[in-house]
Amino acid sequence: MNDHHQSRRKFLYNLGLAGLSIPIISANAKCNDETSNKQIMKQKQEGKLGIALVGLGGYANGQLAPALQQTEHCYLAGIVTGTPSKAIAWKEKYNLPEKNIYNYENYDSIKDNPDIDVIYIVLPNNMHAEYTIRGAKAGKHIICEKPMAITVADCDRMIAACKEAGKQLSIGYRLHFDPYNLEMKRLGQQKIYGEIKKISSGFSFVAQKGIWRLDKKMAGGGPLMDLGIYCMQGIMYTTGMEPVAVTAQTFPISDPEKFIAVEETLAWQMEMPNGLIAECRTSYSESSNFLKAEAEKGWFELQPAFNYSGLKGNTSNGAMDFPKLSQQAKQMDAFALSIKNKQQSIVPGEMGRRDVKIIEAIYQAMKTGKRVML
């Protein structure tokens, strides 16, 4: 027996509990589980849907789990993680019952768990398709993070799997629930300042060396997949149009060791059906975050445009001012209501697929230097 065991035995012996050590520990765990099961039962009785987060990285930990403490129509019911220490920490922090904690091997058995209605995929991009399809086969509704997948073919398989299972599929496009971005949509689509004559967007940050986002196999591409997708989205919801053709240009790589397989900086243009040409730029070695429109009778813009909070909006008529809220809480509540009301999500799998199709066209334009029709 080692020192640790001896002193522990001595301690329990002093309490007269040496022989009872194991039952005491499991009784505690059982008691905690009973409390968390009761909590879940209460949420279910209130008509809320249970969400399980798959992949407990930066976004799940920093944004989604905290947002699930603010939601009205759904709650954090479970987790799927490959890291045992995260399972212990999350169980404790969010009071989760043991039976709602899964790993990547027993993930499919989530089908037998009635506490979980929705699975939220927050894994690296190349894992989105597999975990969405397995989740749908387990009979759960799915929210999948952006970009929906790394190929259009994967998007098709994901949409088909959810259709076959009779389950809804939604993409983590949180800005469709953000008041500043919704104001851009209103001003643009309702032509409050007349026709848009010029529109541009940029989203860039400096990426650290060695992260999966720089690995083409895992990320599917570079900043276009990760950040540029917000520019594409912003242009489309502000104009209410989808591009008919794209052109694209890359620039010499500044750090060849860092950018082995993915683009470092990319500029691209989206030609809209009415002839408007949207100018976009994304980079992993610059800093930008804006969405700007100039129309016949005025201008409107966001800068920063795509953050989780602290967005700033301005127009030729003055500043925008909206109350603070959690974009992610709004997004997840809206999906829970879509499921309950049997209405399609406003950010469905089809929208995710549309965007991956545009991304593929932009990459083709980048590689060939040619204008690519959509």
Sequence-ordered strand ranges (E) for 41-100: 49-54, 74-80
Task: Give the residues across from 130 on adjacent strands.
Answer: none
Whether the ω angle into residue 304 lies within 30 degrees of 0, i.e. cis, is: yes
Does the footprint of ligand NAD cover residue 149 (CB under 6 A)? no
Among 125, 200, 238, 269, which residue sits at the site for ligand NAD (rule: CB under 6 A)?
Answer: 125
CB-based contact 203:230 (threshold 8 Å): yes
Of 58-66, 88-96, 253-261, 356-364, which segment contacts ligand NAD by CB under 6 A?
58-66
Of 42-50, 122-130, 241-249, 256-264, which segment contacts ligand NAD by CB under 6 A?
122-130
Phi then psi dihedrals of residue 298, to 5 deg: 165, 180
Does the footprint of ligand NAD cover residue 330 (CB under 6 A)? no
Which amino acid makes up residue 243?
A: P
Among 122, 196, 302, 320, which residue sits at the site for ligand NAD (rule: CB under 6 A)?
Answer: 122
Nearer to ligand NAD, 127 or 196 (CB): 127
DSSP state of 62: I
CB-based contact 88:111 (threshold 8 Å): no
Using CB under 6 A, which residues numbered 265 to 324 contact ligand NAD?
Answer: none
Does the footprint of ligand NAD cover residue 212 (CB under 6 A)? yes
Does the footprint of ligand NAD cover residue 226 (CB under 6 A)? yes
Q: Closest-CB residue for ligand NAD?
A: 57
Which amino acid makes up residue 364?
A: Q
Nearer to ligand NAD, 83 or 109 (CB): 83
Does the footprint of ligand NAD cover residue 134 (CB under 6 A)? no
The pair of structure tokens assigned to 235 is 């242009």
Three-state DSSP state, 144? strand
Of 51-59, 92-100, 159-167, 365-373, which segment contacts ligand NAD by CB under 6 A?
51-59
Task: Give the residues across from 301 on adjacent strands.
Answer: 292, 314
Among 50, 55, 188, 234, which residue sits at the site for ligand NAD (rule: CB under 6 A)?
Answer: 55
Three-state DSSP state, 364? helix
Does the footprint of ligand NAD cover residue 352 (CB under 6 A)? no
Does the footprint of ligand NAD cover residue 135 (CB under 6 A)? no
Angle at 34 between CA 336 and CA 21, to 5 degrees: 145
Least separation in angstroms between residue 125's CB and ligand NAD is: 5
Among 78, 97, 172, 313, which residue sits at the site for ligand NAD (rule: CB under 6 A)?
Answer: 172
Angle at 185 between CA 121 and CA 122, to 5 degrees: 10
Helix 349-368 × helix 152-165 angle, to 10°: 170
Residues recognised as catalytic: 146, 230
Does the footprint of ligand NAD cover residue 56 (CB under 6 A)? yes
Judged on CB neighbours under 10 Å (0-12, 13-18, 19+), 296 is exposed
Of 10-18, 56-64, 274-282, 317-325, which segment contacts ligand NAD by CB under 6 A?
56-64
Q: Which residues make up the interface to ligand NAD (CB under 6 A)?
A: 55-60, 82, 122-125, 145-146, 172, 174, 212, 226
